[in-house]
Structures are given as structure tokens and as C-alpha cells.
Structure 1
């Protein structure tokens, strides 16, 4: 049977996906959406003590994370199950896992073991805190990484205590960094002919995502504070209340400041001694904020957005999620991709946000049922029907 292809970009690659929850599946989703044959390896029912930790199979999260993958059930805790896995490794390009660092070596599927079977294999490992060091065996979760990576201390309003971000920043970033590392390793393999071990962690990814806020400390020695909805270094750049809600404004340079003053019909502010330069505006931010809030509360958001757009001032609405997908630009970008699932019917999943002109990503199949492709994958690996039947009898698959 011909497998539906979401893209031809990575269709020459076979990926063994041992991941669960979010960071690892995010990495594998990138590869799957660009056409790699991603085989999601799952424990048979009753084998995994944390079964169900990723949510219900037909739920929104699993649907979105595990599209475009085939499913194989396999008990890796048995010698026969490990032997089947190593047989698959022989012809695979990539293995992705997000166990605690000590687990894969205890299971016998660390990089050196995989490399002995297939020197071209790329192992991508995602952990909570790194593959070595004092925290290597700790279990990692996104909110813990947000706290340890500095994000929660700079998020929220001043004086109100730490605040988590509304999305799984560390998980998602770690998955994307791992995918980037895999693609770098694949490019290098074209030259050397050898695979390598790629690894990242939630903690590393979260610190990297803090970017300029982290560099404020490492370069200048300053600890960045909470700024609420205001930009930490520029003003007016942040949220302003309107007559019927809130909008974002982002005034960058002096030209935009003057255009902003025209848009709000307060050209006198452009020449006010307290606001003549970006440093002065920042130093007098409380005073400027008070003036602007009074002005913006006089009209509804749509009026202000039209006026700011007319003057070329960056601004935008602040949407609820239903409003996001109703926006004409979002619809034009096709960020919600329709797919049919046998149990859920017609649903929409979130598209990849990067566009390739010749080999774009796609969503060809919804999440597979557990073990849906077990026989097919084993036959491809060289197991005959009798061998497959015995594996089933022995509860290996």
C-alpha cells in the first residue's frame, strides 16, 4: 500500500520515534510533516506504567502532535522486543527519544549501541536538564524549565510574583532545537557518511529562548525585571486599553514616534521635552502611559488600528483563539489544515509555520491507532508472517 505523503522533502528518511508528551513529539512532527517516514513506537497496552500521560489518543493534543506518523507497538523491556528494535535501526536514519538520560543506556539503546548496528544513525535525545551534570537524572517538565530558565521571573506585572507563559515554551523550543540539530547532522552526514548524537534539553532551550533578556545579564551584568505588557527597553511599545478592549502598539524609532503622534492627533507630544528622544520617553514612561491611556480610551480598537495603519505605525489586535483563526490573514496563511479522522470527523490541525516553495510541509494522515501499522512495518523489516504471529503471541508487539 502506498503511504500518503505530506511532502517529498524528507521522504527518503526513516525515523524511529520513541518520544512522548510534547518536546520529542514536536521534533518528530517537523520531520513527519516534511515527508519523513516517522514510525511512532509505543508500548503494548499495560506495559508502560505512565500509559496515558500524553492524554487521550483522539484528543486535540495527540491529534495535533502525532499526525503523519505510522504506529508500531513494541515491548522494549524484553530481549525479543529490543532485537526487533535493533533490526529496525539497521535501516533507519534517525532515532528520537526523550527518556531520562540514564534510561536509554539501561535499555541498551544508547548512541554507542545504535552506532554499532548502523554507523549512519543519528540519535536525537531530549532531556529535562542535559545528558550529564548534577541534574541529569531529574525528570523535566515545561513549567519547571520555565522557572529555572528565567522566563517566569521576567513574565508578569512587577511585584505580582512569577508568572508562567501560557504555552509550553521550553517543551516546544526543545523539540524545534532538536529538529534543527537533526537537520544539521543530516547535512554533515552527506559529507562524512557518519551519523552522530544530537542532544538538547528543556533547560537549555528555555535559556536560549530568553535570548536578549538572558544577554542583559551575561553581557551587562544586569538582572532583568518584570515589565508586564510593556517592552523592557522601548516605549510606547506594549498594550494600551481602548474604549472596547485592548490593542498592541509598537513604536520603534523617531520616525515612527512622529507618525504615532499624528495618528493619535497629538503632534504636540512629538516636541514635548520629556518625550523628545527614545531614552527620554523610556525614562518618563509612567507619565507617557497615563497620557496615552486617556487618549486611547476615547475610541474603539478598530478605529485606532485603522488610524495607526494609515500612518504606518506597527499595531495589532489582541485576539482570543477563535478570533485568531477568523482573521483574514491567518486564513490566507492556511494555518489551520483540514483533515478527516475516523472517530472525530472533520477537524483542523495546526500547520507548520515555515513555507518551502517546491516541497512544502503537509498533513496527509491523522494520528494512527496504536499498532495500526505493526504488521506492515515488520514485513518491511524482513519479518515473515510466522515471525510476526509469534511476536504477537509472545506479547512483544
Structure 2
């Protein structure tokens, strides 16, 4: 059941009320990143997302750096607001709800009756222990899409184990493959276990929503961080199952494609991926040695893939081409002809003209704290564009609005629940 325009769909905090998911109500009981990022992507697409936090223990990323600050009362401490939290919780309404209380459980059930999706990222069994697991909530709303993100999934021998991103990188195989052969394995330098689970959760949620709209039947969407990481290991699984090989750290190299890695230049490093015969021939011409395209030792892709040939001829040649040129000069030489990219730090990325052209750094004005620049939405829809410029809520900021509109509570009942510590 989608909500009508005369309730809260037109009152997104700081955002615009439009988008492909306009009218879809999402209850977000998650915290940290994997769950909040999932519901944030749905909010960017126009869904009405209600972030539900425990009034005694809100999402602890509210204390994560970096922080926006503003002067507090004279003589008092400055006010702070986490930019980390803001980036993953934009475009959401804020509601607090103590699910350990009977009133809290009853109130969640009321909200579920008007919702389309609930997202949670607790350990499997936690919501059941609280009395508001999937089986209970689908009794309140058979159309409900219940998206559960966890470390190891809702089934299997590991299901109750606590997990973080690093747990998924470790048990999904990715950690063992990252780094350099002469050093211990290295974790991927971002929370890829959380982020990959987020993306699969969004895909699963949208697929389940479509099914619910057609049939009236909701379902459980079960996404595991471990599963998600395993699916990112490229050819590792089939290398093991077909050839019995256990891939190890490869540094910046590809398992077999060459040249396809990082190379030093005058002011840093570039990625060069001109490994096909077409790109190799173009590269030889662009760097002033067209005769090398017909050199019988390196004139085909298969020959350049041979490790000894690659090390002795190809890598040496690329180092010669690149060493006295800057990243910008190299990008200008190859232009649109060959895959060559400057390896940029995040400061260079934020100021990159392509990033600007794609609206991937957005400015959001927080009235008390000033401007926050954060990443935008990579999803570009021509007819129903995403809306990444919304604000993140303060703890329980929109409780009155949400409870009036979706739970049909009056001011007296809301005040009573607040007095009891339920909200």
C-alpha cells in the first residue's frame, strides 16, 4: 500500500518529493552502513524512508568523524553533526522506537500495515526475539517486503555469528587475494563487504516489490555480506573448481591479462589497459614506435600474456613511455583512443571535471552547520531523476509527523509515548 500525497510523501526532509519510487514507504530499522546505505539509495529514488532508532541507543555512526560543527549556547559546547552519518542517511525521516517495549512493538506493527518495505541488519534471530520478526510482520501486512542484511545470511551454520565488513572480506575469499605476494594479504581499502551487500539488497528489494505489486505477496529478501563478497572474486572460484588453483595476492596485476596494471610516471601513477591487439597497435603509434606493433615477439595478445615476455619486453617498454611524462600529459596523448587513467587521490577525484559533469559531488546546506559536500547518486534516470541532496534527520526529529500520518496517533497519545520513553 503506497501512501497518498496528502500524508508525508511531500515532506521529505530537505529533498524533493518525486522519483521512481514515489509513494513507497520504507521502514529502516538499520544502523552503521550496509542497511542505512540500502535505504538511502531507495530514498534517493523517491521512496519515503523512515529511519527508526532506539531512543536509548541511536545509530552510533552519529558519533563517527568527520563532523560538522556550529556554535552552541554561549559558554556551552559546540553542536556537532556527523558528516559520515549524514551521507548515508539523507532524505530520511527520523523516528525513535523502543522495540523492547510492548508499546514499541505495537507501534511498529501499525507502521508495517502502511509500509511496503522493512529493512533490518541485525544478527539473524534478533527481530524474532523482539517479537517483530518476518513471520509476525507479514501477518500484519502480507505485501511486506522484508529485507534482511547480515554477515552470513538467515540460514547456515554461521548465521548467528557477529560480523563486520572485515568478517565478510575474510570469509568471502577477497582478503586472501588482495595485496602483494611477498607480504601478508591486505584488506580492500574500503568497506566492500558492507557496500556490496547494500547493492544486492537494493536489487533484491526492487525485484520483490515488483512481485508484490503484481501478486499482493511480499517476501523475505535475505542478503549475506559473505555471499556478496564471494560474488566479487571474479575468476577465483572457477580457477579452483576447474584447475585446482587457489588464487593468492597479485598486487596490482591481473591474474592473466597483460598489460593491465599500475605504472609509474613523472608525478605519480597511471593505469594502462591497452592489452588487446587493437589497443596495443594504437599505443605503439601514439607513443612514437609504430614498428613495435609488428614485432614478432609481442605482436599478439597471446604473446604479451606470457609472463616472461611481458616482464622482459612489455613492462620495460611501458616504463620507458611513461617515466618522463605527467599523468595529465599521458591522458592527453592517448585521449579517447586507449584505456589509460591517472590514479587519483580522493581530493583529485572530488575536483575532477567528469565527476562534476555527472553531478557526483553534491552540496547540501544544513541550516545549523553550513554546507556539506558528499557523494551523489550514480543512478541516472532520465525521466525520474534521483534526488541526493536531502538532509539526514536528527534523532527522532520527525516522530510527530510520522506517527500522525502513518499510525493515526493524536498529540495526546504521542506525548504519552514520549513520556514513557517508547519514542
**What TM-score do the two structures reach when normalised by structure 2?**
0.89
CA distance in 1, matches of 2:317, 2:208: 54
Are residue 99 (structure 1) and residue 122 (structure 2) matched? yes
Q: Which residue of 2 aligns with 1:256?
A: 279
Q: Which residue of 2 aligns with 1:87?
A: 110
Q: Which residue of 2 aligns with 1:272?
A: 295
Report if the CA contact (8 A) 1:169-1:206 is conserved: yes
Q: Could you say what secondary structure the match of 1:101 adopts?
A: coil
Are residue 297 (structure 1) and residue 308 (structure 2) matched? no
Q: Which residue of 2 aligns with 1:378?
A: 403
Report if the CA contact (8 A) 1:6-1:364 is conserved: no
Q: Could you say what secondary structure the match of 2:247 adopts?
A: coil
Q: Which residue of 1 aligns with 2:267?
A: 244
Q: Could you say what secondary structure the match of 1:30 adopts?
A: helix
CA distance in 2, matches of 1:342, 1:231: 48
CA distance in 2, matches of 1:66, 1:6: 16
Q: Which residue of 2 aligns with 1:58?
A: 81
Report if the CA contact (8 A) 1:16-1:38 is conserved: yes
- How is 1:1-397 mapped onto 2 (pairs within 5 angstroms)? 2-4=10-12, 5=16, 7-44=18-55, 47-48=56-57, 52=60, 55-56=63-64, 58-283=81-306, 284-287=309-312, 288-309=314-335, 312-380=337-405, 381-397=407-423
CA distance in 1, matches of 2:238, 2:371: 45
CA distance in 2, matches of 1:394, 1:298: 70
CA distance in 1, matches of 2:194, 2:59: 19
Q: Could you say what secondary structure the match of 1:123 adopts?
A: strand
Distance 1:19 1:78, change over 3 A: same
Report if the CA contact (8 A) 2:61-2:85 is conserved: no
CA distance in 2, matches of 1:13, 1:123: 14
Report if the CA contact (8 A) 1:240-1:246 is conserved: yes
Q: Could you say what secondary structure the match of 1:209 adopts?
A: coil
- Residue correspondences, number: 393
CA RMSD of aligned residues (A): 1.7
CA distance in 1, matches of 2:305, 2:285: 20
Structure 1: 5+ residue runs without aligned partners?
none
